[in-house]
Structure 1
Amino acid sequence: MSAVEFRKNEEKSRYEAVVDGQVAGFVTYEVKGDEVDLTHTVVEDAYEGQGVGSTLAKGALDDVREQGKGVIPTCPFIKRYIEKHPVYTALAAGLGEKGTDQDAPKGIGGGGSF
């Protein structure tokens, strides 16, 4: 697989992972005052298991940190990434309370619209 390029697409309110010029996955977000809600992660089936989701999570969390904001990990994939990478825990104060919406989409999956 070619290198994964990470970029922020403010027009679509999402972070994108690009491979060979094609969007391989994305994380949607909503800015809510001094926090950024990372709402959903999508990785195209052809790129699953190749680190695209991790690249997206790390890039999104690093961007939120650079902005000096906190994160609301509504997306279960982002929440699990934070739990596995404690360096991001401080960004998600109240991790046990946020991101627990039972009706939210569950984790990474195809079917997103690019």
Structure 2
Amino acid sequence: MTDITVTRNDDESRYEIRTDGALAGYAEYQLRPGAIRFIHTELDPAFQGQGLASILAERALTDAAATGDAIVPLCPYIAKYLTTHEIPGAEIRWPKRPGDAPTEA
């Protein structure tokens, strides 16, 4: 049986996924007051096709939501994951993109 773990590595500002102890990928973040910005997710090609990116996203986002900080999905993979999966208790702050219409106050 494969042992899969996801841990938060504050020294590297990323969540890391390991399979049987080997680093398979990570989701980088930046902390801001009241928010955690997910900026990049990467999976080693040797580990692709095993559903690990989805496991990494789910566990990282669940942990981030538990802190009470808003999640800002700047990473395309994390943004796509959030459009198709519910993260209980998560406050999502969708980033404004160039060309977005201004919102009414």
Q: If the TM-score is normalised by the length of the shorter chain, which range does it land in?
A: 0.7 to 0.9
Aligned CA RMSD, in angstroms, stands at 2.0
In 1, Cα distance between equivalents of 2:78 and 2:89: 11
Q: State how many pairs are aligned.
A: 98
Greater strand percent: which structure? 2
**Runs of 4+ with >3 A deviation:** 86-90
**Pair 1:32 & 2:32 matched:** yes
* Structure 2: runs of 5+ lacking an equivalent: 99-105
TM-score by length of 1: 0.77
Residues 38-68 of structure 1: per-residue CA shift (max 9 Å, x gap): 0000000011111111111111111111101
Are 1:83 and 1:89, in contact at CA under 8 Å, matched by a contact in 2? no
Residue 63 of structure 1 corresponds to 63
In 1, Cα distance between equivalents of 2:30 and 2:21: 25
- The letter of the residue matching 1:63 is D
Q: Percent identity?
A: 32
Greater helix percent: which structure? 1
Residue 10 of structure 2 corresponds to 10
- The letter of the residue matching 2:38 is L
Structure possessing the higher relative contact order (Cα contacts under 8 Å, 6 or more residues apart): 1
Quickly say closer, same or farther: Cα 1:40–1:89, change in 2 above 3 A: farther
